[in-house]
Amino acid sequence: MLEVEIEMIQEILIEHGYKFIKFLGSGSFSNVFLCESIKYHQQFAVKRAIKHKISEDEYKTLISLNHPNVIQLYDAFEDDESQFLIMEYCQNGTLSKKGRLSYENFIYYAKQILESLHFCHSKNIAHRDIKPDNIFIDQYDHIKLGDFGLSRQFDDKRKSSDKCGSLMLFAPEMFQLTEYCPFTTD
């Protein structure tokens, strides 16, 4: 990131009560930073995207989901160019950084992932980008499903023909030229 850009982000965060700590990473449509609440002295992850890149669906999805295995949204604001989502910070990184898991750890994490997906699906929300990089691990070694940028709400019987997510992890149905159930492909 450019130093000028970081200085601009620092100023915006300060205006909203947060102190910039460091750059954490970037995705296809956003950058993520670590910040600290000036008032509460608690660390959060900040997702920053150009205004049209964080969809209204992602924001609505995050505020509608309250589950121990789904990343929590705490604050949101915008400036002229960008949108900012202040979310729970998972200091133990992502499942992809865990590497090969023992059988016991696989079962432990898989159960939590399935519980988070079951909860999302019970709210008619399909994540549509399940991958190890979007599965975070908090300080207590609990799974937090995150990055709802491609998620959408569907009614129970609605099918989709959207091809979205990470190509290497597409469900087989997505390669066919037919509609598919978005909940099944999760």
Mean pLDDT of successive 10-residue stretches along the chain, which has 186 residues: 80 96 87 96 93 74 96 93 93 94 97 98 93 96 94 82 77 79 86
> pTM of this prediction?
0.89
Q: Whole-angstrom Cα distance, residue 86 to residue 169?
A: 27
DSSP 19: E
Catalytic residue list contains 79: no
Handedness of CA 55, 56, 59, 61 (dihedral sign): negative
**Which is catalytic among the residues 57, 75, 80, 129?**
129
Q: What integer pLDDT is reported at residue 1 of this predicted model?
A: 55
Q: Over the range 9-32, which residues count as b (16 or more CB within 10 Å of their CB) and which as e?
A: bbebbeebebebbeeeeeeeebbb
Residues 32 and 22 sit within 8 Å (Cβ to Cβ): no
